[in-house]
Amino acid sequence: MDWSNTSALVSGGAGGLGGATCRRLVELGAAVVVFEHDGERARALADELGPRAVACQGDHNDDAALLAAIEEARCLGSFRINVNAVAVAIPTPPTASPDGEPHDMGIFRTMIDMHLNGPFNVSRLSAAAFAANEPDADGQRGLIINTSSTAALDGQARQVAYAAAKAAISGMTLAMARDLAPIGVRACAIAPGPILTPRLASAPPELKAELVRNVAFPKRFGHPEEYATLVEAIVRTPFLNGQTIRLDGALSTPLTEMSPLKA
Assign 137 to helix, strand or coil: coil
- With 0-12 / 13-18 / 19 or more C-beta atoms within 10 angstroms meaning exposed / middle / buried, residue 39 is middle
Q: Which of 162, 180, 188, 197 is catalytic?
A: 162
Q: Residues 171, 212: contact at Cβ < 8 Å?
A: no
Q: Residues 11, 60: contact at Cβ < 8 Å?
A: yes
Q: Residues 41, 10: contact at Cβ < 8 Å?
A: no
Q: How many CB atoms lie within 10 A of CB 263?
A: 7
**Known catalytic residue at 227:** no
Half-sphere CA count of 98, side-chain side, radius 13 A: 0
Q: Annotated catalytic sites, by residue?
A: 162
